[in-house]
Structure 1
Amino acid sequence: MPLNASFEDLLPRLASAVVMVLVGVVAIWYGGYLFLFLLAAVVGAMVWELARMVAPEDKTGAVVVAGAAAAALASCAVLPLGFALPLLILPAMIGVGRFESSRRVFALYTAFIGVAGLGLWVLRQDFGMVWMLWLVLLVVVTDVAGYFAGRIIGGPKFWPRVSPKKTWSGTVAGWIGAGLVGWGFMTQTIAGAELIGISIALAMASQLGDVTESALKRRAGVKDSSALIPGHGGLLDRFDGMLGASVLLLLVEQIIDFPPLPL
């Protein structure tokens, strides 16, 4: 394949990425309710995309579960997290009771989206803007490094049946990029060298989130989760990696003092 053809989608991807970065940076910078309500809207949109994939015939149901997911995360503004948790699982229960197919897939992935959204809210509230930016940057660098390395270097495919464009060269490049992000933040904060390992682990979780969403699309017989973002498809296509990284970070915070101090 000619090199130019490999990058034919680069311009719309870059334009959309710039807009998303600007909106995201403003929300992360201000934090508080602005960040929470933007996050709730994104979570709701991702659940809507998922519902449209697993039950395309039930358009009303997709709106119902999306609204429930957005409202559940937004409830963190007024409810303690312990009371918000059952609300985050409720959209999955609604889908199980309503949809005729792929109930288990919808339930598990919807709960996954809700918990990931909660993890991002907790990260911004408890650890501040710097560590929220660290997570966003390492996921973006993992994706960008994988994109360019995969198209320039090529080589063996990572999981060709599900995601034919992903290569092992791009996968490893993503780990290296995330490790460099961790090293950069380690030098500029109080964090110790364990941050590099955590960053690489989160990059792996991000990549697993990516291929899991690819498997869902393959099962649903669609190329993109939606057409909401030019050059990227849907919000699930863009934030699938962030979902995996966010959920793993929630676990990391319970196992390792975060941010990790020097040994």
Structure 2
Amino acid sequence: MAIKVGDIGLRTASAVVLAPAAVLATWAGGVWFLALMVLACVLLAAEWAMMSAPAAWRAVAAAVALGLIAGVVSAHFGVMSVAFVMLVFGAAAAGLYARSRGQEAVNAAYGVLYLGWPAVLLIWLRDVDNPIGLHWTVLVFAVAWASDIMAYLVGSLLGGPKLWPRFSPNKTWSGFVGGLLAGTLAGAGMAAWLEMGRLNVFWGAALGLAAALATMGGDLWESALKRRFGVKDAGSLIPGHGGLLDRVDGMMFAVVVVSAGRLIVLMLERGA
């Protein structure tokens, strides 16, 4: 699979426009990061509804978005137990509402949990009251972006056997290995460059490898979901990338792994 120069240019232009806004909101934290997450939740809910319930996507999108926003706002105010409860209730409410509109209840309910779990964890990881939280969030971005970019570049340049042709015919084993190596190096680099508590370079590399593996898994999982719903892309919001979900599918899985890593570090620090 050769690299398409036009595709690279379109992807780069999209990243140049969108990445700075996301980075600035993440750096600012507080209400700015909350606003970024709320906007992302609304857009992701719309894309999920258009994929899973096209006949009544606006209504289902509103129901899914309300569940996501309730969880994210609760997490922003530091009430994580309430955030997870809100996701569960939001999933149930979205499912019931979708059913009342003649749509599959399980798709709407799963959408709230699938999109909401990483969104809530990302709010927790950023932790506006703790400067180190910014560093951990940067680690998520660095690993996910490095893995995604290098998987595409290495797979395009080297080609070779397909990773999972049934669901994602363009992904190769060479790209998979390239993505894992890039994520490992990104994790080690962030641990060496930023203050990460007790996370040293070795464990940063290990966490980067695990998060890169999660990134690849998240990308494949979304490919399987799109095949299930019979769509090529989750949306058309981002030129060269498809929808927002196409852009953050791997990061959604990576943030779960990195959050687990941070929780372990916090437990070690409190036990020291």
TM-score (norm 2): 0.87
> How far 1:248 moved relative to its partner?
2.3
Deviations 1:227-256 (A, max 9, x none): 1111111111001011101122233334x2
Task: Say which is worse superposed, 135-144 or 182-191, in terms of deviation.
Answer: 182-191
SS at match of 2:163: strand
Aligned to 1:96: 95
Whether 1:215 and 2:214 are equivalent positions in the alignment is no
* Deviation string, structure 1 residues 142-164 (Cα, Å, up to 9, x no partner): 00000100100000111111011
The verdict on how the C-alpha distance between 1:199 and 1:78 changes in structure 2, with shifts beyond 3 A counting, is closer
Partner AA of 1:97 in structure 2: L
Q: In the alignment, does 2:67 pair up with 1:58?
A: no
Identity of aligned residues (%): 34
In the other structure, the counterpart of 2:141 is 136
What CA RMSD, in Å, does the superposition of the two structures yield over aligned residues? 2.2
In structure 2, which of residues 126, 137, 160 is the aligned counterpart of residue 124 of structure 1? 126
Q: Give runs of aligned pairs for residues 10-159 of structure 1, distance below 5 A.
A: 10-72=8-70, 73-78=72-77, 80-99=79-98, 100-125=102-127, 126=130, 127-159=132-164
Q: Aligned pair in 2 of structure 1 residues 70, 108: CA closer, same or farther (>3 Å)? A: closer
Deviations 1:165-186 (A, max 9, x none): 1111111101100111122123
| Aligned-partner Cα distance in 2 for 1:131–1:259 | 15
Distance 1:106 1:172, change over 3 A: farther
SS in 2 for 1:57: helix
Count of aligned pairs between the two proteins: 258
Q: Is the 8 A contact 2:235 2:242 kept in 1?
A: yes
Partners of 1:89 and 1:114 within 8 A in 2: no
Runs of at least 5 residues in structure 2 that lack an aligned partner in the other structure:
none
Contact 1:65 1:95 in 2 (8 A): yes
Residue 195 in 1 paired to residue 192 in 2?
no
- Among 216, 220, 243, the residue aligned to 1:234: 243
Answer yes or no: is the 8 Å Cα contact 2:51–2:229 preserved in 1.
yes
User: Which runs of no fewer than 5 residues in structure 1 stay unpaired?
Assistant: none
Q: Match for 1:153: what amino acid?
A: L
Deviation at 1:70, TM superposition (A): 4.5
Q: Which moved more, 1:105-114 or 1:209-218?
A: 105-114
Mean Cα deviation higher: 126-135 or 37-46: 126-135
> In the alignment, what sits opposite 2:265?
257
Instruction: State the distance in 2 between where 1:62 and 1:142 align.
Output: 32
Q: Which amino acid aligns with 2:95?
A: V
Q: Does 1:8 align with 2:2?
A: no
Sort the Cα spacing of 1:96 and 1:70 in 2 relative to 1 into closer, same or farther, 3 A.
Answer: closer
- 2:12 alignment partner AA: L
- The whole-number CA distance in structure 2 between the counterparts of 1:144 and 1:37 is 27
Corresponding residue SS for 1:9: helix
Counterpart CA distance in 1 for 2:252 and 2:186 is 19
- Residue 61 of structure 1: how far off its partner (Å): 2.0
Change in 2 beyond 3 A, CA 1:91/1:177: same
Offset, 1:188: 2.2
* TM-score (structure 1 length as normaliser): 0.90
Bigger mean CA deviation after superposition, 201-210 or 55-64: 55-64
Question: Structure 1's 58 and 120: CA in aligned 2 closer, same or farther, altered over 3 A?
Answer: same
